[in-house]
Amino acid sequence: MWSEKTGVERGEGRFPRGLPLRLFAYTVAGHGFAAFLYLLFSVGGG
């Protein structure tokens, strides 16, 4: 069976496997949302 538990580090101080991908996705989504708000306010004249 699997000896690794979800959410724990795998040893040698490494990140969990999906963490870099998740950070990249959150960064892209956050910048996209900020760009949308900027466009909304710039077009709306606010």
* Tens-digit pLDDT string for the chain (46 aa): 555 566 655 556 777 889 999 999 999 999 999 999 999 999 998 6
Q: What is the pLDDT of residue 17?
A: 86
Q: What is the pLDDT of residue 11?
A: 59
Burial per residue of 6-33, b for 16 or more beta-carbon CB atoms within 10 angstroms, e otherwise: eeeeeeeeeeeeeeeeeeeeeeeeeeee
Whose tokens are 């306010």? That residue is 41
The CA-based angle 12-10-28, given to 5 degrees, is 100
Q: How far out from the chain centre does Cα 5 lie?
A: 22
User: DSSP code of 15?
Assistant: P
